Amino acid sequence: MKRLTLDATDHALILGLSGEIIMDVVPDLRTEIERLVAETQKTRLVADLGLVTFMDSSGVGLLIGTRRLCQEQGKIFSLRNPSPPIKKLLDMLRLTEFFAADQANASTGQPA
Amino acid sequence: MRICIVDDSESFRTYLESLLQAAGYDGIACFDSAESCLDALLATLPTPQTDLVLMDLIMPGMSGLEGVRRLKAEPALADIPVIMVTVSNDDENLSAAFAAGALDYIQKPPRRPELLARLDSALRLKRAIDQNKARARDLQDEKEFIAAILEYSHDGIAVVSRDGRFRFVSPGMERVFALPVDAYTTMRAWGEMLFPEPAVRRDLEDILTSPPVPGHVWRRIYGFADKNGQRRACQVYFSTMPSGDLILNIQDVTLFEKQKEDLLRKHNRHRKDLEAAAEIQQSLLPRRFSMSDSFKFAWEFTPCETIGGDIFNVFPLGPDHVGLYMLDVSGHGVASSLVALSVYNFMHYQRSTLVDRTAGYVEVVPPQVVLTRLDEEFPYDKFSKFFTIFYMTIDLRSGAAHYGNAGHPPPLFIAADGRIEPLDQRGTIIGLEGFQPFSSNELSFCPGDKLVMVSDGLADRLDPSGAFFGEARVCNAIRENARRPVADLLTALRQAAETFCAGTPPRDDVSILGVEFLHPKA
C-alpha cells in the first residue's frame, strides 16, 4: 500500500499520508519527505492525515522531525484532517498546539 | 503462372490454352521450348508458384524428356507435377520420362474430358504435396524453436521415464551440474554421482516411486557436490507429464542459499543483540521488594519482540520520600532502548536531577522542575527521539504526592473505596525544548489508595483480527479488580490483555506499574 501521495496548491505541497504510520514504514517515509522538503519551491508543507488509521510514536516522531526540518529551511509545516484516533493521540501527547503554532505564526505574519 | 504449357507447335499451344481457359483455369503460361520454360521457372525461385507443367515429349532443341530431368533435378521445382504430351505411343521415351519423374501422360490430340480429369488429379496431388510440405515445415520450425528454448534456457530440464531412465536432458543440465549430457543414464546413477547425502538419494527414489499427481508440483532444495568437490545447491521442481514421465526443472541456487545462510546468521546475531539489550532493559526494572512497610508496589512488563523504549522505576528519595516514574521513548529497537537507558541514568536517585542537597539536607526536587531538566537534557534533535514520562514523588509520612506528566497516558487513581479517577492533568512531551512550561499537581494518598500507570503499548495491543485492546477494556479490568491488592490487580490487568490478544505478540513494550499506600510512615 502506498503511504505517501503528493498534491499541491499554489503555495503548499500536500503530503497525503495513509494507513498505519508505524516504525516499519517510518524510515522510508522520512527519507522521502526529507527529499521533498529539500527540493520543493513551496513555502508551506501540509501533512494530510485524513487516511491515517494508526500512528505509533515513531510516526509522531516523523511529524516532529518534519516540522523541525521545515523550520530550519524557513518553511511552514502544518497538519490537517487528523482522523479521530490521530486527533486523540496528538491530544494525549499534548502536541495539538505544537503543530498549530507554526500556522498561528504564519497567519499573524510573525516569523516561525 | 499456375500452369505451364510447353510445346513447339504454336497452334497446339493456343488450342490447349483455350481449352483450359474454357474449363475455368487461369494463370496459364505458354512456352515454345523446354529451355524457355525452365528459365522462366528458375526465375521464380525460391518461391515457385507453378502447380503443373504440360510438356511436349518431342521438341527441337531440348527434348521433353530432358526438360523433365532438369526440372526434377532442381529441388525447389521437383514437386511440380509434369504431364507429358505425346503424339503417339512412344513407349521407350515415355517410360524414360516416367523414370525421370513425370506423373502422367496424355496423347495428342487430347480428348477433352480425359485431359481435364488428369489435369485435375495432378493439381490435387500438387495441393496435397504443398500442404504436407507446409506441415512439415511448421513442425520443423516448432522443433527448432523448442530446441532453442531448451538450449538457451538457464534452467536444466530433464525427463525421466517411469523405469528411472533419463529420456531427455537439456543442455542446461550440463551447465548446472557440469556433467556431459551422455552422463545421464538413470536417476539413481545420477543421484549417486552428485548427491552425497543419503537422504537426498532416498528422496529421489521415493519421488520416482510415487511421483506427484499431474498438475501438482513438488519443490526440493538439494545440496550437491560439483566436479571439484565444492558444495553447491540446486532447486528441483518435480512434476508429472500425462504420459507418466517425470519432469525435473532444476536451477543452481548456490548463491541464493549462501545469501540466505548469511542473512540467517546476521539475523541470529541481531536477535541475540536484541535479547541482550532486552535483558539489560529488564535488569533495570525495580526489584520486587518493599522498601517501606507503609508502601507497596508491583509491576508487569511485557517486552515487544524488537525491544522497546519503555522503562520505569520506583526508588527512595531521601529518608521520607519515594519517587516513581514511567517513561516511553518513541520508536522501538536498540536506539530507543539506549535512549531509555540514558534517561534512566539521568533519573538515578543519587543524582542531583531529583534531589537537592545544597541546603545541607535532602530536598526533593518538584516534578515540574524534573520535567524541565529532562526537556533541556533530551531535545528531540539529540537522538531524533522524544519520550513521554509520568513522574511522582510521595511523602510517606503524610501520603502527600506531587506529580508531573509529559504526554504520558493518564495514570488511574484508585481510592480505597474503589472509586477510580484518571489523573488527566498533563503537559506536552519531552523533547520540544521548552515549547510549553510543565506544571506540578498535588494529590493525597489515604491508606488503601492505589495508583496504576500504564504505557500506551497496553491499549494499543491487538487481537488476531486487528482490534485494539483499548482504553475502555483497560479501565474495565481495573474497575473489576479495584479492591484487590495492587500486585493481584496488575496481574489481572495483564491477563485480561493476554486473553483478549489470544497470542498476538505486542507491537510495543507494555508496562504496568502500580503503587499502594498502606499507612503513614511513623
Pick B428's closest partner by Cβ from A56, A57, A94.
Answer: A94
The residue of chain A with its CA nearest to that of B410 is A92
Answer for the pair B406, B432: CB distance below 8 angstroms, yes or no.
Answer: no
What span, in angstroms and rounded, lies between the C-alpha atoms of A22 and B315?
33
Chain A residues in contact with B507 (beta carbon < 8 A): 22, 56
Measured between alpha carbons, how far is residue A67 from residues B261, B331, B383 in Å? Answer: 42, 18, 16
pLDDT at residue B98 tops 80: yes
Backbone φ and ψ of B124, nearest 5°: -65, -40
Chain B residues in contact with A94 (beta carbon < 8 A): 407, 426-429, 436
Per DSSP bridges, beta strands B387-395 and B400-406 are antiparallel
Unique residue bearing C-alpha cell 518553511:
A75
Confidence of residue B317 (pLDDT cuts 50, 70, 90): confident
What span, in angstroms and rounded, lies between the C-alpha atoms of B212 and B207?
7
Does the N-terminal peptide bond of residue B379 adopt cis geometry, omega within 30 degrees of 0?
Answer: no
- Verify whether the Cβ–Cβ distance B386 to A61 is below 8 Å: yes
The residue of chain A with its CA nearest to that of B332 is A23
Nearest to A13 by CA among A76, A65, A102: A76
Chain B residues in contact with A60 (beta carbon < 8 A): 330, 386
Answer for the pair B310, B358: CB distance below 8 angstroms, yes or no.
Answer: no
pLDDT for residue B1:
63
Mean per-residue pLDDT, B392-400 = 95
- Verify whether the Cβ–Cβ distance B381 to A56 is below 8 Å: no
Cell of B193: 554421482
What span, in angstroms and rounded, lies between the C-alpha atoms of B425 and B410?
8
Nearest to B309 by CA among B101, B508, B83: B508
Name the percent of chain A lying above pLDDT 90: 55
The beta strand positions in B435-493, using DSSP E, are 441-444, 450-454
The residue of chain B with its CA nearest to that of A59 is B331
- Verify whether the Cβ–Cβ distance A57 to B384 is below 8 Å: no
B436 touches chain A (CB under 8 A): yes
pLDDT for residue B291:
64
Amino acid at B351: R
pLDDT at residue B288 tops 70: no
Answer for the pair B67, B96: CB distance below 8 angstroms, yes or no.
Answer: no
Confidence of residue A105 (pLDDT cuts 50, 70, 90): low
Size of interface A-B (CB pairs under 8 A): 60
Confidence of residue A110 (pLDDT cuts 50, 70, 90): very low
Count CB-CB contacts under 10 A for residue A71. Answer: 13
Compute CA B133 distance to the chain's CA centroid, rounded to the nearest angstrom. 46
What span, in angstroms and rounded, lies between the C-alpha atoms of A102 and B428?
16
Confidence of residue B351 (pLDDT cuts 50, 70, 90): confident
pLDDT digits (tens, 9 = 90+) for B70-88: 999 998 899 999 999 888 6
3-state secondary structure of B522: coil
The residue of chain B with its CA nearest to that of A101 is B435
Cβ neighbors of B374 (< 8 A, separation 6 or more) are: B343, B346, B347, B353, B389, B406, B430
pLDDT for residue A103:
60
- Size of chain A in residues: 112
Cell of B519: 499507612
Chain A residues in contact with B428 (beta carbon < 8 A): 93-95, 97-98
Nearest to B66 by CA among B79, B84, B87: B84
B328 touches chain A (CB under 8 A): yes
Per DSSP bridges, beta strands A44-55 and A12-21 are parallel
Q: What is the DSSP string of B170-215?
A: -HHHHHHH---GGG--BHHHHHHHH---HHHHHHHHHHHHSPPPTT
Answer for the pair B396, B350: CB distance below 8 angstroms, yes or no.
Answer: no
Confidence of residue B389 (pLDDT cuts 50, 70, 90): very high
Cβ neighbors of B218 (< 8 A, separation 6 or more) are: B207, B212, B237, B238, B239
Q: Residue B219 is inside which H or E element, if any?
A: strand B218-225
What span, in angstroms and rounded, lies between the C-alpha atoms of B321 and B520?
11
Confidence of residue B308 (pLDDT cuts 50, 70, 90): confident
The residue of chain B with its CA nearest to that of A66 is B384
Amino acid at B199: A
Name the percent of chain B lying above pLDDT 70: 99
Answer for the pair B395, B321: CB distance below 8 angstroms, yes or no.
Answer: yes
B379 touches chain A (CB under 8 A): no
Answer for the pair B237, B155: CB distance below 8 angstroms, yes or no.
Answer: no
- Verify whether the Cβ–Cβ distance A22 to B507 is below 8 Å: yes
pLDDT digits (tens, 9 = 90+) for A46-82: 999 999 999 988 999 999 999 999 999 999 999 999 9
Eight-state DSSP code of residue B87 = S
Mean per-residue pLDDT, B221-250 = 91
pLDDT at residue A1 tops 60: no
Measured between alpha carbons, how far is residue B149 from residues B144, B155, B161, B172, B450 in Å? Answer: 9, 10, 22, 10, 77
pLDDT for residue B55:
93
Cell of A96: 495539538
pTM for the model stands at: 0.63
ipTM: 0.82
Unique residue bearing C-alpha cell 550440463:
B174
B431 touches chain A (CB under 8 A): yes
B331 touches chain A (CB under 8 A): yes
Query: What's the sign of the alpha-carbon dihedral B482, B488, B491, B497?
Result: negative
pLDDT digits (tens, 9 = 90+) for B477-510: 999 999 999 999 999 999 999 999 999 999 889 9
